[in-house]
Chains A and B, each alone.
Chain A
Amino acid sequence: MAFHEVEQRLKALMLRAQAGDGQAWRELLTLLSARLAVYFRRRLGADLADEADDLVQETLLAVHGRRMTYDPSQPFTAWAYAVARYKLIDHWRRRRVRRHVPLDEVAETLWAEADGGAEAAADLDRLLGDLPARQEQLVRGVKIEGLSLAEAGARFGMTEGAAKVSLHRALKALMAKVGARGD
C-alpha cells in the first residue's frame, strides 16, 4: 500500500477516534503497534526485543494520553512517528546511552520499514501472483492492508460470508505452495 494511502487510512481512523469512536481507536492502535514493533526492534537490536515490546506499550500509552495534541492539519504518520522517536530517545537517555537520531529523518521510514524489505515484498508478489486475481486482491485487502472481510468483499460485490470462504481457499492454496517449496 502506498505511503499516502496508509496516511489517509490512519488519519481517517484518528479523526473518528478524536470524536470518541472506540472501535476506530482499537483498529488504529492495533495497526500502529505492529509498525512500532518493527521500528523499535530495528533500532534496539534483536537482543533487546523485550525492551522493544515495552517501548511499543509505552508509546501506545503516550499516543493515547496525549492524543489531544494531534492537529488534523498535520499528517498523522508524522505525529505518531515523532511520539515514537521521542520515546526511543527517552529510552536511550534513561539507559544513559547516547546515540544520534537524525532530526530530518522523514516520517516515511516508520511506515516504509514496517512494510517489510523489498525482497520479502517481491517474494510475496510472486506467491500472490499465482492466485486468481480476485483471491489475490482479497488476500492483499485483508491480510496486508488490514481491511475487514466485509470491506474487502465489498470491493468485488461479495458478501462477507463469500469473501471469507474465498479468502480461506486462497490461504489454503498459498500454504500448499509454500509447503511444497519447503520440501
Chain B
Amino acid sequence: METDRLIEGLAADLRPVSPGVVSRRIALTALVGGAVALVVVLSWLGLRQDLAAAVTGPMFWMKAGYAAVLGVAGFWCAERLARPAASPRRAAALGLLALMVMGGLGAATLMAAEPSERAAVWLGHSWRRCPVNILALSLPTLAAALWAMRRLAPTRLRLAGAAAGLFAGGVGATVYGLHCTETSPMFLATWYSLGMALSAGLGALVGPWALRWR
C-alpha cells in the first residue's frame, strides 16, 4: 500500500533530533535581525551623542532591560507556539508582568513630577517617532522569525505571529536604546510598549499567511 511505502521511506530517512533545536532556530533570528537593526541605527538614525556617559547611568540599562525582558517573553511565547499543543500562558504572563512593573514605575514617577511637567515627562521629545522607529527596527527580526517558525510547526498562526512580533519588537527596541535619549519610565511604559505592540500586531496580521506550512 502507498502509505506503507511512505512510512518505509520516512523511517529510512530518519536522523536523530538534536535537543534544543527549536530554541536555537528562533534565537538565531534575533542575531540576524538585531545585526541588521544595528546597521540601521549606525548608518541612519545615529547613535546617541552621549552614549559613553549614558552607559554608566541606570536609565540606559532600564531601557535595555525592559525591551530585552519583553523580547525574552516574546521568544518564549514563540518557542511554545512553534509546537503543536504547547501552551504559551506562562511566557505571556512574563511579558504582562514586565509591562505592569514598568507601568507602575512610570505612573509613580509621573505622580511625583510637578503637574506642569507631567506632559513633558510622558511625551518626552520623541514620542511620535519612537514607536514607528521601534517597529521599523523590529522588521528584520520579524521576517527572520516568521521564516524560521514556518518550518517548525505552529498551529495557532495568528497567535504565533503575534509572539514572533513581540520577540522581534523586543530586539528592535533593545537596539533602538542606542539611539534614543529619553529618560522617563512612563515614556518607556507607553511608547516603547506601543512600538513593540505594533510589531506584535503586524506579526498577528501576517501570521496566518506567513506561517502557513508549505
Contact = CB atoms under 8 A, between A and B. Distances in A.
B155 A85 contact: yes
Interface in A76-132: 78-79, 81-83, 85-86, 90, 107
Given A60-B10, A61-B10, A79-B83, A68 B213 contact: no
Given A19-B16, A56-B3, A62 B10 contact: no
Interface string B1-15: 011101110111111
Nearest to A77: B85
A61 B2 CA distance: 13
B47 interface: no
A25 B15 CA distance: 10
A81 B12 CA distance: 24
Interface in B77-122: 82-86
B6 A61 contact: yes
Interface in B7-39: 7-8, 10-18, 21-22
A148 interface: no
Given A18-B16, A20-B15, A33 B7 contact: yes
Interface string A1-20: 00000000000000001111
A68 B155 contact: no
Given A33-B3, A60-B3, 14 more contacts: A18-B16, A19-B17, A23-B11, A25-B14, A26-B7, A29-B11, A30-B4, A57-B2, A62-B153, A66-B152, A66-B153, A71-B22, A75-B85, A86-B153
Interface of B: 2-4, 6-8, 10-18, 21-22, 82-86, 151-153, 155, 212-213
15 contacts: A20-B14, A23-B11, A26-B11, A30-B4, A30-B7, A33-B7, A60-B7, A64-B10, A66-B151, A66-B213, A69-B82, A69-B84, A71-B22, A74-B86, A107-B85
